[in-house]
């Protein structure tokens, strides 16, 4: 009989991120484990019964029992507390009924549920951090670092790290930071597994016109975590060097809002192309991009970030331009020579970065190097192998 795993995710499986970062792993791990998956779905996705049924059948094909729950957003504190209560009930019910030998927690709220229930059931849990949540909340202005809530979250974070069977971090930068912040966790088993992609679903772009310069952006860019002004200014700099350049933005964000922001920035919108993509369409939608832009706000909260879009760009053989201070992103770009790193968003830095990118694009081995970097660092197969080793170690302790 396969060992039983309970997987708790606060990210919905119906979101592109859930499919690429949860199902991509579990479809592989299900060959060795009996997996029950609990996710929290946004109302818009949850109401799509046809899509939900299709995804349920896909999970069943892999032997995964999927239990979608409705995500609550407002009022924030009460909504999150309600979701936590639901998770506590599910964790108790499923660990006792299914005799789960391990609980895999994707992010903090599921980890809190598993930590609390583990006091009773003694079931070990994996804390799969995904990010530095208290610092993200503080940097976003949602929490004051002097507040009781922030201090409580840090107290919880320390205990979640200390008591987990294993802690999974997206970046080495976050591990270094956490060990310094919480010396009592220095002997904890930290494992770095970056954002990974299913390489079988991505391919080196075939329909890219080498004569056409297309600056690419993918994913949300108006969340407050992305320097959208840098993106517009990079495009402005590109137009001074390549008047034929265009900007393609693939996002679920409101396109009219982004267009208005571009106008206010003084960026011409005539050659800005907007598109949307489902999880299955990402590879095709970005395949005509010359390079991808990764301009994220830097800071403590971003030490634990590994942008999924970087892995997806590289998997398609597309180089990237990004900034420092975001997890291991800059180190990886420079290590594999798959793009350009800028120091800041000044006109001089963006102009220099654009010139370097134009030079790099003339490298005939660039696309193959990008794909090789993805295979070496972002492969879902390699990630699944690491998770299997973690599962086996935790179960056999």
Quick one: 208 and 113 in the same domain?
Answer: no
Quick one: 178 and 220 in the same domain?
Answer: no
Look up residue 188 and give its DSSP letter.
Answer: S
Quick one: 383 and 319 in the same domain?
Answer: no
Quick one: 189 and 237 in the same domain?
Answer: no
Quick one: 308 and 320 in the same domain?
Answer: yes
Please report the pLDDT score of residue 120 as a whole number: 93
Q: Which long-range contacts (CB under 8 A, 24 or more apart) does 119-124 make?
A: 120/92, 121/92, 121/95, 121/96, 123/6, 123/95, 124/164, 124/165, 124/394, 124/395, 124/397
CATH number at residue 122: 3.40.50.2000
Quick one: 329 and 357 in the same domain?
Answer: yes
Q: Specify the residue for token string 């003084």.
A: 266
Quick one: 191 and 247 in the same domain?
Answer: no
**Number of domains present in the structure of the chain:** 2
Quick one: 235 and 274 in the same domain?
Answer: yes
Rounded CA separation 115/84 (Å): 12
Give Cα 288 distance to the centre of its chain: 23
What residues make up the domain containing 120? 4-196+379-396
Across 262-338, the runs of DSSP E, i.e. the strands, are 272-275, 291-294, 320-323
Quick one: 249 and 275 in the same domain?
Answer: yes
Exposure pattern of 194-228 as b/e (b: 16+ CB <10 Å)?
Answer: bbbbbbebbebbeebeeeebbbbbbbebeeebbbb
Quick one: 214 and 76 in the same domain?
Answer: no
Quick one: 174 and 238 in the same domain?
Answer: no
- CB-side neighbour CA atoms (13 Å) of 198: 19
Quick one: 232 and 173 in the same domain?
Answer: no
Please report the pLDDT score of residue 206 as a whole number: 65
Q: Specify the residue for token string 């059948």.
A: 57
pLDDT tens, position by position, for the chain (397 residues)? 899 999 999 999 998 788 888 999 999 999 999 999 999 999 989 999 999 999 999 999 999 999 999 999 888 889 999 999 999 999 999 998 889 999 999 999 999 999 999 999 999 999 999 889 999 888 878 889 999 999 999 999 999 999 999 999 999 999 999 999 999 999 999 999 998 888 888 888 766 777 899 999 999 999 878 999 999 999 999 999 999 999 999 999 999 999 999 999 999 999 999 999 987 888 899 999 999 999 998 889 899 988 889 999 999 999 999 999 999 999 999 999 999 999 999 999 999 999 999 999 999 999 999 999 999 999 999 999 999 999 999 998 7
């Amino acid at each position: 009989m396969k060992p039983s795993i309970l997987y708790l995710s606060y990210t919905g499986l119906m979101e592109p991120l859930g499919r690429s970062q949860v199902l991509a792993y579990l479809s592989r791990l299900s060959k060795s484990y009996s997996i029950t998956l609990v996710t929290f779905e946004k109302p818009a996705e949850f109401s799509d019964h046809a899509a939900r049924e299709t995804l349920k059948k896909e999970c069943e094909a892999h032997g995964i029992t999927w239990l979608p729950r409705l995500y609550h957003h407002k009022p924030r504190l009460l909504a999150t507390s309600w979701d936590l209560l639901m998770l506590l009930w599910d964790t108790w019910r499923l660990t006792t009924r299914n005799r789960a030998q391990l609980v895999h927690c994707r992010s903090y709220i599921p980890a809190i549920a598993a930590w609390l229930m583990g006091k009773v059931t003694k079931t070990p849990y994996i804390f799969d951090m995904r990010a530095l949540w208290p610092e993200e909340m503080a940097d976003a202005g949602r929490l004051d670092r002097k507040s009781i809530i922030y201090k409580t979250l840090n107290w919880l974070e320390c205990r979640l790290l200390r008591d987990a069977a294993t802690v999974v971090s997206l970046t080495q930068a976050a591990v270094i930071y956490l060990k310094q912040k919480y010396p009592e966790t220095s002997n904890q088993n930290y494992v770095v597994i970056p954002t990974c992609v299913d390489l079988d679903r991505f391919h080196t772009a075939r329909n890219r016109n080498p004569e056409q310069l297309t600056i690419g952006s993918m994913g949300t860019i108006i969340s407050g975590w992305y320097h959208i002004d840098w993106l517009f200014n990079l495009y402005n700099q590109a137009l001074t060097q390549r008047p034929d350049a265009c900007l393609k933005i693939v996002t679920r964000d409101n396109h009219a809002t982004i267009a208005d922001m571009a106008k206010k920035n003084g960026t011409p919108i005539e050659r800005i192309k907007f598109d949307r993509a489902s999880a299955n369409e990402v590879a095709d939608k970005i395949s005509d991009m010359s390079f991808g832009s990764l301009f994220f706000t830097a800071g403590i909260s971003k030490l634990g970030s590994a942008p999924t879009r970087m892995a997806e760009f590289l998997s398609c053989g597309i180089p990237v331009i990004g900034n420092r201070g975001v997890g291991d992103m800059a180190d990886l770009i420079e290590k594999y020579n798959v793009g350009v790193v800028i120091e800041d968003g000044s006109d001089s830095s963006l102009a220099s970065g654009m010139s370097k990118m134009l030079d790099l694009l003339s490298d005939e081995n660039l696309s193959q190097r990008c794909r090789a970097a993805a295979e070496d660092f972002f492969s879902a197969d390699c990630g699944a192998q690491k998770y299997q080793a973690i599962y086996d170690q935790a179960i056999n302790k």
